[in-house]
């Protein structure tokens, strides 16, 4: 038995959306449900896809918070439970996907560049993706 995931129902759609996000921004794009990463593009699928999300990411979802580390001098949020806190992909934007008032996942953008930066454009792109995916669940 597998735990039901509303966003998981859209996993094929989420994979396509992650690919579009990655191509548009040049960053690694991940889409998660509340428990696992369900789509990844632009980065190592083995490293991210179907990995359990970290406690920190779970807490962020629970709090419905947006997280942005603006550049790699910031400490990155661990994305997966087995994240070894290696200092890569530190520039991140994490945006919760909210449907009917509940967080059902996140959209994550991570810089591929060791000295990459995230700015308002990446925040807006992640926000648009999260809002769109959330609205798909409301239907």
Report pLDDT digits (tens) over 79-134: 888 876 555 667 899 999 998 899 999 999 998 887 788 889 999 999 999 999 99
- What is the pTM (predicted TM-score) of this model? 0.89
Neighbours of 124 (CB within 10 A): 12
Span 34-48, pLDDT tens digits: 999 999 999 888 889
- Domains of the chain by start residue, with CATH: 7-138 (3.30.450.40)
């Amino acid at each position: 038995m597998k735990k039901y995931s509303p966003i998981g129902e859209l996993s094929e759609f989420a994979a396509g959306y992650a690919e579009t996000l990655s191509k548009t921004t040049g960053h690694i794009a991940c889409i998660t449900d509340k428990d696992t990463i369900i789509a990844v593009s632009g980065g190592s699928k083995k490293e991210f896809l179907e990995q359990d999300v970290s406690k920190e990411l779970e807490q962020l979802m629970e709090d419905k918070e947006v997280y942005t580390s603006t550049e790699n001098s910031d400490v990155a949020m661990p994305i997966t439970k087995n994240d070894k806190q290696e200092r890569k992909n530190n520039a991140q934007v994490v945006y919760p996907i909210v449907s009917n008032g509940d967080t059902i996942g996140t959209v994550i953008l991570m810089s591929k560049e060791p000295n990459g930066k995230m700015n308002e454009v990446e925040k807006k792109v992640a926000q648009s993706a999260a809002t769109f995916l959330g609205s798909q669940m409301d239907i």
